[in-house]
Amino acid sequence: MIMKKMLSALLVLCLVFTLAACSSSTGSSNTASKTDGSLDAVVKAGVLKVGVKEDVPNFGLRNTATGEIEGFEVDIVKLLAGKILGDENAYELTPVTAKTRGPLLDNGEVDLVIATFTITDERKLTYNFSTPYYEDAVGLLVKKDSGYKGLADMNGAVIGVAQSATSKEAVQKVADEKGIKVSFSEYATYPEIKAALDSGRVDAFCVDGSILGGYVDDTTMILPDRFAPQQYGVASKLDNVTLSEAVDSDINEWLKDGTIEGLITKWGLNY
C-alpha cells in the first residue's frame, strides 16, 4: 500500500515537471520569434539599406545634376536612419522597380523597401508592411488630343503599365464591369511608359495618380477617373519582426505629430 502511494506521488511529480518543461519550452520559442535580431543586425551594420524608386518625381527621382536620389520617400529613409542609427546619413539606397523590389528584399540586399509599394492582402502574406504613410488611387495619363474623357471612351485602347504593378488589375476590373475591351503593354520603368505614350505605342499611361502628376507636360493630361485606392507602406521581410515593429512605431509617431504631412506638403503631393 505504501509502495503504491509512493509510486503515485512520483508519477504526479513527473507530470508536473514535464508540464513545466513544456511550458518553458513554449515560452522560449515565443520569445525567440519576437527577438529575431533583425533590428540589432541593422544597428550592428551601422547602415540602413533601403530600396527606393529613382524614376518617380517627388517620391524618388535621381537628380541629374548631383546624381543623388531625392524625394518624399528618401526623406522617410533619412528619418528612419536617424531614429534607428542616430544618424540621418547612415543609409544606403538601392534603385528598385515594381518588378525588382520584392526580390531584392527577399535576398537580403535591402533591409526595407520604401518605393510606392502598395499594401495588398496578397503581399501581406509575404512581407511586413508598416501603417500606410500615403494614400493614392490609380489614374490614366493620355494625350490631350486623344479625345478621351474617361475610361468609358477607351474601348480598344492599349494601356501602358509597369511590370508587377497593381494598376493593371485595377483598370481591368473596372473595364470588365463597363464592358470595355482594353489591352495592356508592360514596361520596366515609368519613363519607358511615358516614351511609349509620346510615340503612340500606347494610348494611356496607367499608374497611381500622384506618380502620373510628375509626368504631365504640355501635350498630356490626367483623366478624372480613379481606380482602386492605394496605400503605400514600408515593407520588410516577414520574419524581420523587430525591425518591422520599430519602423511601424516611427511611422505612426510621424503621422500623429504632422511630420509625414509636412513632407507631403514639401514635395507637392497633396492631391
Instruction: Write out pLDDT tens, residues 107-143.
Output: 999 999 999 999 999 999 999 999 999 999 999 999 9
Residue 196 near residue 215 (C-beta atoms within 8 A): no
What was the pLDDT predicted at 35?
61
Phi and psi of 190, rounded to 5°?
-70, -40
Residue 32 included in any domain: no
In 3D, which of 65, 62, 92, 61 has the Cα closest to residue 78?
92
4 within a domain of the structure (yes/no): no
Could you tell me if 142 and 160 lie in one domain?
Answer: yes
DSSP three-state, residue 200: coil
User: Cα 218 from chain centroid?
Assistant: 31
Q: Which domain holds residue 96?
A: 39-133+233-267
Q: Within this chain, do residues 124 and 238 fall inside the same structural domain, yes or no?
A: yes
pLDDT of 3 reads 39
Are 129 and 46 members of one domain? yes
pLDDT, position 27? 34
Q: DSSP H helical segments within 145-240, as ranges? A: 167-178, 190-199, 209-212
Instruction: Calculate the dihedral angle through the C-alpha atoms of 221, 227, 233, 236, rounding to the nearest 10 degrees.
Output: -110
Radius of gyration of the chain (CA): 25
Count CA within 13 A, CB hemisphere, residue 123. 23
Q: How far apart are CA 111 and CA 42, in angstroms?
A: 8
For the chain, 271 residues long, give each residue's pLDDT as a single digit of tens.
443 443 344 444 443 444 344 443 333 333 334 567 899 999 999 999 999 999 999 999 999 999 999 999 999 999 999 999 999 999 999 999 999 999 999 999 999 999 999 999 999 999 999 999 999 999 999 999 999 999 999 999 999 999 988 899 999 999 999 999 999 999 999 999 999 999 999 999 999 999 999 999 999 999 999 999 999 999 999 999 999 999 999 999 999 999 999 999 999 998 7
What does the angle CA 131 – CA 134 – CA 138 come to, to the nearest 5 degrees? 120
Q: Which residues contact 108 (CB under 8 A, 6 or more apart)?
A: 237
92 & 153 share domain: no
Both 224 and 150 in one domain: the answer is yes
Considering the domain architecture, whether residues 192 and 250 belong to the same structural domain is answered as no
- What CA–CA distance (Å, rounded) separates 104 from 102? 6
Residue 3: inside a domain, yes or no?
no
The three grid cell numbers given for residue 108, joined into one nine-digit string: 537580403
Model pLDDT, residue 164: 86
Do the beta carbons of residue 138 and residue 259 sit within 8 Å? no
Q: Is 67 left (phi over 0), alpha (psi -120 to 50) or beta?
A: left
Per-residue confidence (pLDDT) for residue 23, from 0 to 100? 40
Q: Give the 3-state secondary structure of residue 149.
A: coil
State residue 264's pLDDT score: 98
Q: Tell me how many domains the chain contains.
A: 2
Same domain (yes/no): 197, 245: no
Residue 250 is predicted with a pLDDT of 99
Q: Among positive and negative, which fits the CA dihedral 239, 240, 246, 252?
A: negative
Q: Which three cell numbers stand for residue 111?
A: 533591409
Tell me the pTM.
Answer: 0.80
DSSP-assigned letters across all residues of 4-29: HHHHHHHHHHHHHHHHHHHHHHHHHH
Residue 141 inside a domain? The answer is yes
